[in-house]
Amino acid sequence: YTLIAYAGLCCGETSFTAPQLQTRAVSRREEVSVSLKQTNNISKASLHPLFYGMATLEVGKDDYVEETIYLKKDTNNLRFVLQQMNGEQIKADEFDVKITDDNGLLAWDNEVQQNGVITYLPWTKGETVIGSQEDGVTPVSAAYYELSTSRLTTITAPRRVVFSRERGENIINIPLNTYLLLLKSELYSEMPAQEFLDRISEWSLVFFLDSGNRWVNSHIVVNDWIVRLNTAEL
């Protein structure tokens, strides 16, 4: 038998839908899939967590068999921070932030099926000022955005884009997976990239802006790790 399990699919808050199998004991596993709820290929919700697992087992006549199904989380939450380095105050509405990825349809084996590019927009955003002149600390202005996405995989090409309304251009347009995988330590060099992406579901990235609200692409902070970039072509 092949056992396929989902968690977070049947409750009223689920962010995914699954087709009803046509015929009991006749339908094939290839008919099983889940698809992201979206409108016109746009998702701007905080996705309800979805977990997936699969196991195979043999059952003989009159046997009682127990099996553990290990689940992996298919939903991600990403928090992006834009930090102004020169002390000027910035507003969250000065920038449009999005992630694009063709990952809205997951097959029975949890593999992403091409079904059209989804644009993920922030489900929350805002701005803050860190420090104050009264404390003898130069105030730092920052804008933050949080987005939720379906499963991130190495077979698609998700991108993270930040558009500056003032400049009228994209100040950041990067391959998201490449930056997330910068966190993969050499201690886990034998771990496949896909397993690393599946093991983490919450990400935070801090990008630093100069006086022209351009990205200072020498380093970023990913999940509290400072990553110094040797090339801006990533």
- With pLDDT > 70 as the criterion, what percentage of the chain qualifies? 89
Phi, psi torsion values for 135, nearest 5 degrees? -90, 5
* 230 pLDDT above the threshold of 60: no
Q: What is the pLDDT of residue 218?
A: 53
Q: Mean pLDDT over residues 121-139, rounded?
A: 79
The answer to whether 30 touches 22, Cβ cutoff 8 Å, is: no
- Residues 92-110 have pLDDT tens digits of 999 999 999 999 999 999 9
Q: How far apart are the first and last CA of the chain?
A: 44
Q: Which residues pair with 113 in a beta bridge?
A: 105
Binned at pLDDT 50, 70 and 90, residue 224 comes out as low
Q: What is the pLDDT of residue 225?
A: 54
Provide the mean pLDDT of the chain: 88
Q: What is the pTM of this model?
A: 0.88
More confident of the two residues 19 and 3: 3
Instruction: For residue 208, give the amino acid letter.
Output: F
Q: What is the pLDDT of residue 133?
A: 57
The answer to whether 196 touches 170, Cβ cutoff 8 Å, is: no
Q: Mean pLDDT over residues 166-188, rounded?
A: 89
Q: What is the pLDDT of residue 232?
A: 46
Q: What is the pLDDT of residue 23?
A: 72
- Residues 25-80 have pLDDT tens digits of 777 888 899 999 999 999 999 999 999 999 999 999 888 988 899 999 999 999 99
* 188 pLDDT above the threshold of 90: no
